[in-house]
Amino acid sequence: MIAFIIKRTFLMIPQLLLLSVLIFFLAKQMPGDAVTGAFMGKPNVSAEQMEKIRQQHGLNDPWIVQYGRWIGDAIRGDFGQSFVHKQPVTQLLAGRIENTIWLSLATLIVTYLLAIPLGLIAGRWTGGFADQLIVTYNYVSFATPVFVFALLMLYVFGFVLDWFPSGGSVDIRMEEGSMEYMGDKLKHLVLPVLSGSLLLTYSTVQYLRNEIIETKVKDFVKTARAKGVPENVVYNRHILRHSMLPIAAFLGYEITGLIAGSVFIETIFSYPGLGRLFIDSIMARDFTVVTALVLISGAAVIVGTMLSDIILRIVDPRIRLG
Amino acid sequence: MEDNLLTIHKLRTSFLIDGEFHRAVDGVSLTIHRNEVVAIVGESGCGKSALALSIMGLHPKERTRIEGSVEFQGQNLLQLSTAKLNQIRGKQLAMIFQDPMTALHPLLTVGRQIKEVMDVHLPLSTKEKKQRVLQLLEQVGIQTSAQVYQHYPHELSGGMRQRVLIAMALACDPVLLIADEPTTALDVTIQAQIMELMKELQQQSQAGILLITHDLGVVAEMADRVAVMYAGEIVELATVHELFHHPLHPYTRSLLHSLPSGQQQKLHVIDGMVPAIERLKRSGCRFAPRIPWISNELHEDDPVLREIAPGHYVRCTCHQHFYLPADRIGDETDAPFTAT
Ligand SMILES: Nc1ncnc2c1ncn2[C@@H]1O[C@H](COP(=O)(O)OP(=O)(O)OP(=O)(O)O)[C@@H](O)[C@H]1O
Ligand code: SF4
Ligand SMILES: [Mg+2]
């Protein structure tokens, strides 16, 4: 198992390298560059001056040199300067990465906490009243666009009822590290997390429901019943364990989906995370930041896939030894 | 009777197919005594598994209708709640399934799966349970019990898995064991080993066994009495000796003639197959379509099971007129034989 994890980790190196080359070229392909972006809307800077700045920043070097410089810096954690914010990209990312990780993690946990019981109920009592309700909920959440739902949540619970803060990640008056600070952070998470997970559950619920319907007619379930195992245990141990397999394996990929989803949620709730930074940076053509963010999310996808592989090995003994 | 273990009375099991109920088991009555091995034989699809699962209460409730009664130790199993039934299943009444490849949970260790039976039924400590699992594994011929305890099913061969399932069934010393084709999915050499093991264990434990099979060789080896099933009904019921020496029902005779044996030159092949339950005709003799060389006047309208000799029951009155085509070849007297 340990050997596999090490092997699997090394496998990521070529993947990450390929990703970085790809991103580097895509970034180069974009119309305009950091310099045009930085002086956008400033007509008093002449083309010659711009060219001079390009020369200074090495933007006219051969691509391999530029790539080498860029990746070398990136590995050392230096993603260059943001032309818009006039500060190192790394500094810009620092707090935001943390925020996005909290948001994603909380969304993931809440999603599973909701989806697993719902999927289990729907799959166990197929066609029953609860199942019909759950299936309806699934259709609705599948059809509702994230931003519409998030705006609705924001309006109802943030403004009308004013139960939860409507933006930010923590009240600036809070003292960092205190209990209140943590509590306030959680309070700021409630709306974005609920908006994300209430809509995200449908795929997991639907998946689990189908898995359970398929699993409950399997021979080993008959064996369990023939042993006299109580019906609740038959479902919660034998059937659920088997049905959770593909879902557990999907966990890593789910993280990928969350990164994409965070763009909407963070923008709507003005939550200072990577997603919102991404949108803002694209709007401002802040390419160093955009490139760093694409690289980070690409790397997250690769790590997520690796996690999925490892989790699948842990939960499925048939793969473990294969 | 005192030593009746299981009394099945007019059991009828119907499945919901396309909005209608169709009978897979149709009026089966059968008794199993203490320490007795009763075999049920019949082709694929004749309702053997449907019968076994009805006794165990393992059919999906929404799509199944079960009528009649199954008396086990003074209780009608068909009327028990699932919770009540669970106190009996795995304890006094155990089952071994047809396919050892799919009958074990792929994600739980063998040891844990056997131990679970005791978790449900026996007031033992964890240590005692483990001890007993190891002992059971050895009893079914697995010497490396400590390793196998830790193994997952996919790490074991088919024969080993069937041994594990047998160990599981024996965990609480059942008085009645239902074995649904316990060897069909295994290699021929392994089949013999498993049957040998079953026989040995039966003699030790004195449990009654309902042995489902379509292997008449196994029947001759193991059983005391045999019920021959066709299309959901018992067509003949007799002791093994009686059935092999005086088979009466045309279906039984066809089956016996399809067995390879020393003197016999030609094997009889029963044409066609058991009709699907939704296409089964309900009047007249169900086997008649498969013996077309027997003229229609000879068939009975609605044959019932009659006791023809003590303990020998046959669902057929016109069996005297029956013959197999192979018997008549070269016999010129009359040759109505046109069947292919
Ligand atoms: N749950 C079910 N729903 C619908 N039809 C069923 C169901 N179970 C069995 N049947 C049908 O009932 C008939 C008898 O099936 P059964 O499985 O009892 O046969 P069998 O004698 O055990 O055959 P085999 O030797 O292949 O195991 C078949 O026609 C089968 O298609
Ligand atoms: S001889 Fe008559 S009763 Fe007997 S099996 Fe044939 S048709 Fe049925
Ligand atoms: Mg069967």
A243: nearest CA partner in chain B? B107
B16 vs A: CB within 8 A? no
Predicted confidence band at A165 (pLDDT cuts at 50, 70, 90)? confident
B89: nearest CA partner in chain A? A228
B115 vs A: CB within 8 A? no
Backbone angles phi, psi at B31, to 5 degrees: -125, 140
Q: Do B104 and A220 touch (CB under 8 A)?
A: yes
Q: Encode burial over B94-111: b for 16+ CB neighbours within 10 A, e otherwise.
A: bbbbbbbbbbbbbbbbbb
pLDDT at A226: 96
Number of the ligand closest to the Cα of B284: 2
pLDDT at B262: 52
Q: Across chain A, what does the average pLDDT equal? A: 84
Question: Where are the extended beta strands (E) located within chain A?
Answer: 81-82, 87-88
Contact B126, B208 (CB under 8 A): no
Residue A269 has pLDDT above 60, yes or no: yes
A128 vs B: CB within 8 A? no
Q: Select the residue from B107, B112, B172, B177 to test the A interface by mutation, using most A Cβ atoms within 10 A.
A: B107
Q: What is the number of other CB atoms lying within 10 angstroms of the CB of residue A111?
A: 23
User: Edge-to-edge strands of the sheet including B64-72?
Assistant: B20-33, B4-17, B64-72, B75-76
The predicted model gives A294-314 an average pLDDT of: 86
What is the nearest CA distance from B154 to chain A, expressed in angstroms? 7
B247: which 2 tokens? Answer: 């088979």
Query: pLDDT (tens digit, 9 = 90+) per residue, A126-149?
Result: 989 999 999 999 888 888 887 888
pLDDT at B330: 47
Strand A81-82 and strand B176-180: pairing? unpaired
Predicted confidence band at B331 (pLDDT cuts at 50, 70, 90)? very low
pLDDT at B116: 96
* Pocket, ligand 2, Cβ cutoff 6 A: B 250, 285, 287-288, 299-300, 303, 316-319, 322
Euclidean distance between CA atoms B266 and B23, whole angstroms: 35
Euclidean distance between CA atoms A212 and B36, whole angstroms: 39
Q: Across chain B, what does the average pLDDT equal? A: 86
pLDDT at A149: 84
Euclidean distance between CA atoms B104 and B305, whole angstroms: 39
Contacts 24+ apart (CB under 8 A), B62-66: B62/B16, B63/B15, B63/B16, B64/B13, B64/B14, B64/B15, B64/B16, B65/B13, B65/B14, B65/B16, B65/B21, B66/B11, B66/B12, B66/B13, B66/B14
A220 vs B: CB within 8 A? yes
Measured in Å, residue B98 CA sits from the centre of ligand 3 at 7
Backbone angles phi, psi at A251, to 5 degrees: -50, -45
Residue B334 has pLDDT above 50, yes or no: no
Backbone angles phi, psi at A271, to 5 degrees: -90, 120
Of B82, B90, B152, the CB nearest to A226: B90
Euclidean distance between CA atoms B279 and A214, whole angstroms: 27
Euclidean distance between CA atoms A50 and A42, whole angstroms: 11
Backbone angles phi, psi at B34, to 5 degrees: -55, 135
Q: What is the DSSP track for A204-245? A: HHHHHHHHHHHHTTSHHHHHHHHTT--HHHIIIIIIHHHHHH
Determine which residue's CA is closest to atom 3 belonging to ligand 2: B316
User: Edge-to-edge strands of the sheet including B312-314?
Assistant: B93-96, B176-180, B208-213, B37-41, B225-230, B233-239, B312-314, B306-309
Amino acid at A127: G
Query: pLDDT (tens digit, 9 = 90+) per residue, B98-132?
Result: 898 899 999 999 999 999 999 999 999 999 999 99
* Cα B330 to Cα A76, B254, B268, B333, B334, distances in angstroms: 97, 19, 16, 9, 10
Euclidean distance between CA atoms B93 and B171, whole angstroms: 11
Contact B6, B70 (CB under 8 A): yes
Place of tokens 């006219």: A60
B90 vs A: CB within 8 A? yes
A241 vs B: CB within 8 A? yes
Measured in Å, residue B276 CA sits from the centre of ligand 1 at 9
Residue B283's nearest CA partner among B299, B298, B305 is B299
Q: Select the residue from A221, A223, A239, A244 to test the B interface by mutation, using most B Cβ atoms within 10 A.
A: A223
Of A223, A230, A318, the CB nearest to B103: A223
pLDDT at B52: 96
How does DSSP classify residue B278? G
The predicted model gives B22-49 an average pLDDT of: 93
Euclidean distance between CA atoms B251 and B104, whole angstroms: 35
Predicted confidence band at B335 (pLDDT cuts at 50, 70, 90)? very low
Q: Select the residue from A227, A236, A243, A320 to test the B interface by mutation, using most B Cβ atoms within 10 A.
A: A227
Q: What is the number of other CB atoms lying within 10 angstroms of the CB of residue A313?
A: 19
Contact B39, B223 (CB under 8 A): yes
Residue from B234, B235, B316 whose mutation best tests the ligand 2 pocket (most atoms within 8 A of CB) = B316
Measured in Å, residue B10 CA sits from the centre of ligand 1 at 18
Q: Encode burial over B286-319: b for 16+ CB neighbours within 10 A, e otherwise.
A: bbbebbeebeeeebeeebebeebeeebbbbbeeb
pLDDT at A79: 79
Contact A104, A255 (CB under 8 A): yes
Question: Where are the extended beta strands (E) located within chain B?
Answer: 4-17, 20-33, 37-41, 64-72, 75-76, 93-96, 176-180, 208-213, 225-230, 233-239, 306-309, 312-314
Measured in Å, residue B288 CA sits from the centre of ligand 2 at 6
Query: pLDDT (tens digit, 9 = 90+) per residue, B276-286?
Result: 877 776 667 78
Predicted confidence band at A62 (pLDDT cuts at 50, 70, 90)? confident
Residue A169's nearest CA partner among A98, A224, A232, A67 is A98
Maximum mean pLDDT: which of A61-65, B38-42, B182-186: B38-42
* Cα B20 to Cα A104, B14, B16, B23, B282, distances in angstroms: 50, 9, 5, 10, 15
Contact A208, A116 (CB under 8 A): yes
Higher pLDDT, B337 or A1: A1
Contact B41, B223 (CB under 8 A): no
* Cα A290 to Cα A7, A63, B1, distances in angstroms: 31, 19, 86
pLDDT at B266: 56
Residue B73 has pLDDT above 50, yes or no: yes
Measured in Å, residue B299 CA sits from the centre of ligand 2 at 5
A255 vs B: CB within 8 A? no
Query: pLDDT (tens digit, 9 = 90+) per residue, A78-125?
Result: 877 777 778 888 888 888 888 888 888 899 899 999 999 999 999 999
B111: which 2 tokens? Answer: 């040891």
